[in-house]
Structure 1
Amino acid sequence: MKVLIVDDDPNTVQMIEDSIPWEEYGISEIFAAYHGQMAMEIIGKEEPDIVISDIEMPQMDGMELLEAMEETLPTMPEIILLTCHESFQFAQKAMQYGVSAYLLKPFRKEELTAVLTTSVVKCRRKMEGQRMKEKLQSSKRQLDRNQDYLMQNFLRGLFYRDITGTREELEKVVKTRGISFALDERYYLCLVGFNQTEMERRLLTDQEMHFILKNVASEVMYDQIDMKMVMDFVRGPYYFLMLPVSENFCTRTGLEERGERLIQAIGRYLHVKLSCVMSLPCCPENFADCFWKIMEQFKQLGTVRASVQWEDAKQTEELFESPFSAEDIREKIRQRKKVELIISVKNILEEIEKEGRLDGTIMHMIHQDIMQIFYSYLNESGIQAYRMFQDSVSRTLSNRAEYSKVDMIKYINYLFDRTMEKMDELQKENSLIGTVRKYIDKHYSSNIGRDEIAAAVCIAPSYLSKQFREETGQSLREYINSKRIDAAKQLMSTTKLNLTDIALQVGFENIPYFSTVFKKYCGVSPSEWKEKEG
């Protein structure tokens, strides 16, 4: 605890400081002031628990000090007043401010000790009461958090089929968990989501964005900030909220209006596009079926355009005609006009978006069209495109291409760059055949053939065989065998290995085949060659 002594007589202040064993009362800090204004400055900074103050002082007397504390402090400290003149008027006014004691100067030490003890007891009661209040508030907050967790865990169990059963069986679960959930009502399931990869650079973290979205969604959908019915989760690039809304709370039209308000509010303040899919009213025991149905519907809808869609919305089966000219795109690829290609695609996407047709289904079709055009271009050069784009980066960008316009442009940019890199490889001095030769030179001792080599350079096997023979006059097998025979001759000249070990070391599987090939290339058997050279 802290004590402030206020008196214009320094000797009185010193006497009080020296006469009391403060630590025995649990008082750790003592402050002194010599008039009311000085006292108010210390009170504002230190917030003392007990104030011992003279009444008669210059500048601001004790009664004015009481008035100033009453006006500025949320809670008054315990007050002990000192005075040289007994006055009923002073005492009566002091009582209005809840003064603990009123001492006449000069006073004995025992008198000060008695009133100080009373004030300390009152302070401890206040502190204990505040601690109890804070403890109760903390317990209530913890209980509320536990209730929120239990409710969200229950809903998650229903959605993911971890909790199943009849209404009677679900009632037992609700009762066991001590949560309040009306199982006899039907609920609209509102699935709200946005693409996290599409967000612009911002000052808010993902956690802050999620917190704001949950609060706004709760207030819009439930008319209050109540998190216990809001389940959030992440799937792919999407951050989702699932909000069950009782059929008794809101009509279908009213719920759709709330969804539109939520989309507008989040778009305006957080600059992200929300999409919302709403189920028809369903019973809690059927939550899982409704949940997965609208999840699949959301996948088709996407967040390319912000909108509300109902589970029973009629899916238009309009025939989608590709907005792209395949030949125009191929020509831009041939001429390496990447910027023109990207601008062209971006403009077409924006035009479809303005028409209100840019959804998940359309994005999927565009994705497939673009991919096929690039793959076809590569295949014309004998390059197996599907082998080129099997790595994790390619798969990730391809999977995300349909999520947003930004993701689509990133994917096209990546396709273009990888395509140009591959084409450059084929045109350098280190051409296709050069690459194949290097690969064979490095791996001839392994069990390699046409298919393994073609896979390594991402070329169709038949195309590779044809090109290799046209440029070298040899088949792949002939070139491999020539490398093996050269290596075998080197080993026979420089080592004492027997012919079987040499054959295996250079890539032949058995000595008879090694001998046959060796004689074909050298005109003599391996043993004859070794004897002659030896």
Structure 2
Amino acid sequence: MTRIFLVDDEPLVLIGMQGMLNWSELGYEVVGTARNGAEALKAIEEKPPDIVVSDIRMPVMDGFTLAESCHKDGSALPVFIMLTSYEEFDYVKRSMRLGVVDYLVKIDLTAEGLAAALDKARTVVEKEHRLQEPSAPAVSMDSYRDRLFLQLYSGSLTDRARFDRQCAELDLHFDAPQYVVALGSLQVPEQATDQLLTLSTGVTRMAAETLPKYHPCRVTGMDLRHFSVLLPLQEGEDPEATLAPALQATGQILYNYFSSPIYWAVGRPVKDILQVAQSQKDAFATLQLLRSDAPVVFYHERPNTPLDHRAQVVAQVQQYIREHLAERLTLNEVAAVFNFSPNYLSQLFAQNSESGFVEFVTATRIAAAKETMASTDMKIYEISNEVGFESAFYFSKVFKKLEGVSPREYIQRMKGSYVDAKDDAGI
């Protein structure tokens, strides 16, 4: 509601104005009245209105003095509509200042004339409110760093000189002998899926605060159900012995707070930071081995059990899907590639995967789209085509459903300001 204050030394005029309009229906609220400028000034200072409708000639303090007093600190609000008489008409025309946006001749005052003046004043008020709104916070250095990590995981960073230059600008240091990627997997209860965005954001943020207490790391959100953790290791350090306790402890803390289990799939160590995309791929392949009695699993090249074998088969199918996203990936067509029946492949996914076949294909396409957004300047329709969606419209619809924002909003949020900063730096 736009707040209105009425000032006039004639009681009948005040009563008449209050009953002239259906204020609330028009989006206004009369927050007070006064019989002179001094009385009005005191009330306005205690409860500032947006618009003051005031008579000019009043005892103790006139309307112009009231307006001048209200704006002595340089503020633009409240704006004033002045009530005048025929004799003062020319004088008022020369005095359209001090936040006065309109004037009305009292004897000719009508509901239509008052409503029109109020609309004019409200336009000024709304413009001023927009100007007073705090600017959007500058993109933090962490958002720039997240973009670099997304590029690392996508495998798109191949120019070492450029990478080193970006790291120096972002104050990032990669001097460990080896690195491993752990993939945090959020196990969302069925009843919580409608709050997935909020839950995912909270879990990822708390993981970023908690896990470094046990082992140095960097946490980066990947999608609504997964986040990647880059963990440095010393030469010869055993990943399982070093990391399992830290991941288990962090997972328990997150579960205690959010009541949603967190499973961890860990890839193989790599010695070159520019190769961490491979460790993350290993982690994705290992997701299929996760279950309640094995919430932390490390990648092994050879399966140890029949269950591992089925999970490894699913991992191979998933890897095929990741490498052929631009192609048609129906259940029938992918099953034919591996000489399976569609029903058998569907069952494999149901029994050895976090999601069904169709859900996995869709989620993988969206994840790939996000990586492409982070590492290229391709247009949305080009990205849609590259990751295998039948149309940019359908891609945008699915993307917003899974990520909570449209592709354009995601690009602007993750990339917009960074691109400007990168251009300024000559990168």
TM-score, with structure 2 as normaliser: 0.46
Q: Which has the higher helix share?
A: 1
Give the number of the structure with larger relative contact order, counting CA–CA contacts within 8 Å between residues 6 or more apart.
Answer: 2
